[in-house]
Structure 1
Amino acid sequence: MASVTKQQKRAKRAKTKAKAQRVARQHPQTVNPIVPDYFMPDVFDDDETLLHSYVEPDILEALNEEEREAMASLIRGDSGMPFTEDEMLLTEVYLVPAPEPSEEQRLAHYEVLKRAEQQGFLDLLDAFARGPIAAHAFYNIDFDHYLDVLVNTLGAYMMWAHGLDEATVRACIDDDDFYEAFRAVLGEIEMESTMQMLGIDRNEHDEPAQD
């Protein structure tokens, strides 16, 4: 039987695949899809259908009933399972390793962040999330130290730009509003990546309807 870690990785890939399929249904490539979205079954509603759709047969055969339930819950992302929403987003956005920025690159990126911050807080978070510092820090992150990583990356910019001390920065970051905003930014980046993978032009589908 595959190890728990391998099962979790396969489950994560399955969830990503399912999300991609949902995006594809929400943004169809054809004007008149053959099967309307509301007739398409959601495999997440039934454990057995879910497992047979996304788990390799040899792995599924080796699972007992309790393990099958756990695997189905993991793919769905039910509460209490190993992958939180933050973990899933970070894992999906930062898929490949990135080199550690040099001091020169770090300071140059701080200037980019400073200009973005002038446009608004979400712009700052977006510029940070798409930049080289985050790309290096969040790949294969130890989630037990998520707050520390944020403080040492985005927080370091805040200390540089505003002269704040670490305690103040930590309090600003370790806040529900911050996590919600950063989650929204990561979700937007993840959605863009998924749509790009599917070859969907987001601008085309997001245009308001013309009268």
Structure 2
Amino acid sequence: MKKSDKITRDKIISLYMDYVLIHNTNPSSVYHFASKNGFEEATFYAYFASFEALEQDLFKNFFDHTYTVLQKSDEYQEFDSRNKLLSFYFTFFEILTANRSYVVYALKSDKHRLKSLKKLSQLKIAFLEFIEHLDLEVKPMKQKAINDFQKKTLKETAWIQLLLTLEFWLKDTSVSFEKTDVFIEKSVNTSMNLLDAQTLNSLMDLGQFLFKERTTIFS
């Protein structure tokens, strides 16, 4: 790296992604990583406390880029909640696809899923806040306890749906990940329909698709 290159947070993230993809392993230490890329160790710590913190921030970075793209769209501002959520998914997975080699490495290199989930912890916080601001309407039920439960679990259900979509995308071998696009549309429409009217048609449509793709998802 040239001495004149300014070391920023995004630059360190980019250098880290390049390092792990080239070497197929994480840097042995912050000192080694910094010296390898021509900057001081202290510069790294000005932005991140550890590689673990960097990895968590990296996945949130994908969310931030998605949100920035959406906010610049006048059309997005006019969308209802359903189409805003669909737009988020399609844009988010476009960004993931542009960085697929790293995402696959980061999430599949851990044998224990809990470690992978920890890498997504900052993404989860940002995503749940996004869901909250969508003001999704839950179909009112007669019992107050059920209403309270619905509202409490709505965001967590949305997060699980994102994780399932991510899992599907990681295993998707279709051209341009077209099956992931189908999965996104069917799963988001189904979840929104269940909130609005609990219709069964979309649920059956999603079920048929998942049955056809069961070897891809659950293998």
Scaled by the length of structure 2, what TM-score is found?
Answer: 0.38
More helix by share: 2
Scaled by the length of structure 1, what TM-score is found?
Answer: 0.39
